[in-house]
Structure 1
Amino acid sequence: MTTTVARAGSDAVLERLMALHPKIIDLRLDRMYALLDRLGRPDLRLPAVIHVAGTNGKGSTQAMIRAGLEAAGKVCHAYTSPHLARFHERIRVAGELITDADLTALMEEVEDANAGDAITYFEITTCAAFLAFARTPADYLLLEVGLGGRFDATNVVEKPAVCVITPVSLDHQQFLGETVREIAGEKAGILKPGVPCVVGPQTAEGLEAIEARAEAIAAPLIVANRDWQSWRERDRLVFQDQNGLLDLPPPNLPGPHQIDNAGAALAVLRHLGMPEAACEAAVSRAYWPARMQRLRQGPLVQAAPLAELWLDGGHNPAAGEALAATLAAMPARPTHAICGMLNTKDIAGFLRPLAPHLASLRAVSIPGEKATLPAEDTRAAAAGVGIVADVAESVAAALAAIVAIDPHARVVICGSLYLAGSVLRENG
């Protein structure tokens, strides 16, 4: 009974906080600093911060770093976004998801301190997370950037222990710039003087922007394919840096792109002086839902017992390429997609690399999401890149149509973390 009441309370507070959101998002840190001042600057009392930015791979990389640190006996906080099924997923305190009661109390505290001032939802909830992290002892805080870097709410942290920039590609152009160079410059805004930054594989223009910022503020870089390398060899992950070679199991997170994410995580762990056992745990124990996650329970699985169901939340062209490479590496099997996307995304760019790997696509709208792309628009975009496509009223209806034709199909539900969250609430 207590849990139910607390959950209702946290949902109610979160809904009230959403009403404070400015009508136009102007990326700046003034509102963060003003509220943090009223809260006694919890951002100055955080454990050692590992600050992670990038377009794709932030969550997977962070999950691997956390798995490695925890295997080494370190206590870790973690902050991620967006959530999939419940907001509580964003805040992990000393290794455990925040409780409903604690979340409610924190949200009410920041709401009172903010006193009705305009502030974005992400900003005020980040302040609440910082309160939680400052009040509970830990060795590290894994802090994921929400959007961009330079003006992201998390970028009030003055001196992280280490920064990470995962691969940068086109996404959120309306906020970050129209080119990879511009977007990488925004991501590089998390760099701090004298603080090392592990840089994942980048395009030439992306790396140039990161290096320019690093040189301007004297931030040392630990760069992929220069200072460290990771590759797959005979079903093993091989990692090499100045400290030598690691021969490890392949990442338990599926997909060839996880080799690069694992490399960045291992570079961080080696920089922090973690032992080889921690590095092995990083790649073998990490868990990160909705990144080529196999669904094994719930109504969808029960409705298609002979099918192979996968869930992926990638939603930009680079994520489409990563998903295509993952499908190409899997055993041959007729593969069908169920796809729903937001209307702010480059749907053709996401779907184009998938076209050679899909027998068909069923387009859906994302349940309860105002910014969903209509299913008919998704269908048209899929047809435009050569995918046989139709529309369906729901994920369940789409799955039923697919397995009616091929009961043994591989089915990938994809296109949005919001769609993935909807699926996990019913089938996680």
Structure 2
Amino acid sequence: MTRDYQASLGMVDNWPVVFMAASSEFLSAVRDLNLLQTNAEVLAKCKQPGVNFQLAALESLRVHLKRVGHEVQDLNQLNAIHIAGTKGKGSTSIFCEAVLQRLPVKAIPATRSQELTVGVYTSPHLVEVRERIRLNGRPISRTLFSRYFYECWDRAIVPYQDATKGTYQPGDLLRPGYFQFLTLLAYHVFLSERVDVAVLEVGMGGRFDATNLVPKPTVCGITSLGLDHQAVLGNTLREIAYQKAGIAKARVPLLTVTQPPDATDAIVQAANEAATTVTCPPSFTRYTNADQIHVGIAGTHQRSNAELAVALVLTWLRQSPLKTRLPELSEPLIQLPDFVLQGVAAARWPGRSQTVVTTNPTITWHLDGAHTTESIDACITWFLQHAKLNEPTVLLFNCSRGRQGSDMLAQLAQALLLRRVPIVAAVFCPNITQRLDGQNHTVTKHQQLAEPQSNAVAWQALYNKASRSCTTHVCLSIDRAVAWIQALGNPALTPTQVLVTGSLHLVGGVLDIVQGSPFISDAVNNGTKSIM
């Protein structure tokens, strides 16, 4: 089946959108996927007293999985590594992927190819939605995405177009939302492509997340925890940790990095309830070849993510039939095998502690998605270590509604003022991009602009209080923000570097503009791009 869709410069909700040179079927799939973005009015209908909408959505996903052609028990064939947490989930997933891809040939059964087939599911995407579903280190192609998308869409969505209309009644079948459908799609892709292992990153929480449909993963992991999504997960770290630890399964190893005491207590409680145990991954310093360990993703905070990933992969291997082919993994492990060292060093994750240099004008872009106060701390540490602190700098910032924007800006201002970084301008914009799969239909344009305007006022107040001058500017889109920065013509204000942080969607939008797709497969930036 072919869906026709305009592949040119067009309009979506009265905003200009560049439809890149891609198959009309892929663009049609993205358009249809965007229909599943749930607006506030629909969510309000579902938040009825006595109704656990998250549980209802998860139970409905079981039905949709069957409609697509899979039983829930089939998901055990994925031999999953399931990862929850507040920050570092995506990086940990990519470290796992990189190590698994470098297993020595001797470990692969003769009946297989020369490498494991590794599937990875992460969120959000930076540029194109297909980045969320990876096979062997690359986002699935547009062709593969489109084919599997409509196999799921025609079976799970089309028959239930009106499933969310009216008042929800217990037992009603809910139509999958945006993230739930993408998770369903990932399951379908991985089962259809017969992956040997699937690394699944939780979207939000854990206990009721769509990725938690897998009955028995091989191993589970929890990255660093902090306050996030309080409206859904709870107001305290203990409540949030308990939700995250909901991925625990009976007799499935559960690993976690060192957590605050309240979080640790909640994780242990959830593990006990699930009839499993909790362990912490060993530090790299315990291995005799610790001096040979080089972490491929920048930032000192990535070391703990890499340590967790290595422990998850080693646990996975010891739970698999491959362990008999890898005697070097026998306990106690004195030194890390070469394939582990190679994988940790080779891991790359665009938009996280990333530096890009552009010309005309020459600007160094420091990009790091940071959506919590803890992540901002890590971003600040990385930036201060790698930036030229005496050169004119612009801050480009946005955060999603409901995040701790004012707190994050206060952290940034305090650190930058303390180190006397010459911030010549601070630019704020919504996550509005010209890309079709960067459109957000859950809020109006007015609502999207409210947050940047509020952030600009907060930033100006911080600098006024410190008796420091800083130009503050609000733009209508990411494209306009980048254009404004590039057009700063006053020699006294011309920046040589830009710190882009906050929302990952912002980071992805900037990356797309200044360098094109950060991913190799099916290059994203193969059409005309214009600045609004």
For the aligned pair, the TM-score class normalised by the smaller chain equals: 0.7 to 0.9
Residues 1:67 and 2:94 are matched in the alignment:
no
Deviations 1:81-115 (A, max 9, x none): 11110111011134432222222222222222221
Post-superposition offset of 1:164:
0.9
Post-superposition offset of 1:389:
5.5
The code of the aligned residue for 2:499 comes to V
Match in the other structure for 2:422:
359
Residue pairs, 1:7-46, within 5 angstroms: 7-18=26-37, 23-24=42-43, 26-28=53-55, 29-41=58-70, 43-45=72-74, 46=77
1:240 to 286, 307, 312: 286
2:203 to 141, 146, 150: 146
Deviations 1:226-280 (A, max 9, x none): xx22xxxxxxxx4437xx7643333121111111111111222332346612221
Deviations 1:191-230 (A, max 9, x none): 1011111202311111111011112222122215xxx22x
Match in the other structure for 1:134:
191
SS at match of 2:266: helix
Match in the other structure for 1:425:
512
Post-superposition offset of 1:385:
4.3
Asked if structure 2 preserves the Cα contact closer than 8 Å seen for 1:13 and 1:104, the reply is no
Which region of structure 1 is more displaced relative to structure 2, 310-319 or 262-271?
262-271
Post-superposition offset of 1:421:
2.1
Match in the other structure for 2:400:
342
1:169 to 204, 223, 226: 226
Residue pairs, 1:108-123, within 5 angstroms: 108-114=150-156, 115-116=159-160, 117=163, 118-123=175-180
The code of the aligned residue for 2:401 comes to N
Q: 1:377 to 1:3 in 2, by over 3 A?
A: closer
Cα distance in 2, alignment partners of residues 184 and 403 from structure 1? 49
Flag the structure with larger Rg.
2
Post-superposition offset of 1:190:
0.4
Q: 1:332 to 1:9 in 2, by over 3 A?
A: closer
SS at match of 2:396: strand
Q: 1:385 to 1:200 in 2, by over 3 A?
A: farther
Cα distance in 1, alignment partners of residues 498 and 40 from structure 2? 37
Q: 1:327 to 1:14 in 2, by over 3 A?
A: same
Cα distance in 2, alignment partners of residues 276 and 407 from structure 1? 48
Q: 1:94 to 1:165 in 2, by over 3 A?
A: same
The code of the aligned residue for 2:342 comes to A
Q: 1:219 to 1:8 in 2, by over 3 A?
A: same
Match in the other structure for 1:381:
458
Residues 1:290 and 2:351 are matched in the alignment:
yes
Cα distance in 2, alignment partners of residues 35 and 84 from structure 1? 27
Q: 1:402 to 1:258 in 2, by over 3 A?
A: farther
Structure 1: 5+ residue stretches without partners = 230-237
The code of the aligned residue for 2:54 comes to L
Equivalenced residue count is 410
Highest relative contact order (Cα 8 Å, sep 6+), 1 or 2? 2
SS at match of 2:389: coil
1:405 to 492, 507, 531: 492
The code of the aligned residue for 2:473 comes to V
Post-superposition offset of 1:295:
1.7
Cα distance in 1, alignment partners of residues 431 and 383 from structure 2? 26
Asked if structure 2 preserves the Cα contact closer than 8 Å seen for 1:201 and 1:260, the reply is no
1:98 to 128, 136, 140: 140
The code of the aligned residue for 1:200 comes to V
Structure 1 runs, 4 residues or longer, greater than 6 Å off: 19-22
Alignment RMSD, CA only?
2.6
The code of the aligned residue for 1:40 comes to G
The code of the aligned residue for 1:96 comes to R
SS at match of 1:421: helix
SS at match of 2:220: strand
Match in the other structure for 2:107:
none
Residues 1:185 and 2:242 are matched in the alignment:
yes
Percent identity between matched residues is 28
1:207 to 255, 260, 264: 264
Asked if structure 1 preserves the Cα contact closer than 8 Å seen for 2:398 and 2:431, the reply is no
Post-superposition offset of 1:304:
3.0
Deviations 1:9-34 (A, max 9, x none): 32233234447998116312122112
The code of the aligned residue for 1:420 comes to V
Cα distance in 2, alignment partners of residues 157 and 344 from structure 1? 29
Cα distance in 2, alignment partners of residues 239 and 167 from structure 1? 19
1:78 to 110, 120, 135: 120
Asked if structure 1 preserves the Cα contact closer than 8 Å seen for 2:29 and 2:146, the reply is yes
Q: 1:375 to 1:400 in 2, by over 3 A?
A: farther
The code of the aligned residue for 2:364 comes to E
Match in the other structure for 1:322:
378
Asked if structure 1 preserves the Cα contact closer than 8 Å seen for 2:98 and 2:137, the reply is no
SS at match of 2:295: coil
Cα distance in 1, alignment partners of residues 190 and 257 from structure 2? 27
SS at match of 1:291: coil
The code of the aligned residue for 1:44 comes to Q
SS at match of 1:309: strand
Which region of structure 1 is more displaced relative to structure 2, 140-149 or 399-408?
399-408
SS at match of 1:68: helix
Q: 1:78 to 1:285 in 2, by over 3 A?
A: same
Match in the other structure for 1:233:
none
The code of the aligned residue for 2:61 comes to M
The code of the aligned residue for 1:378 comes to N
Cα distance in 1, alignment partners of residues 98 and 485 from structure 2? 36
Cα distance in 1, alignment partners of residues 364 and 185 from structure 2? 40
Cα distance in 1, alignment partners of residues 307 and 492 from structure 2? 41
Asked if structure 2 preserves the Cα contact closer than 8 Å seen for 1:198 and 1:223, the reply is yes
Cα distance in 2, alignment partners of residues 32 and 359 from structure 1? 51
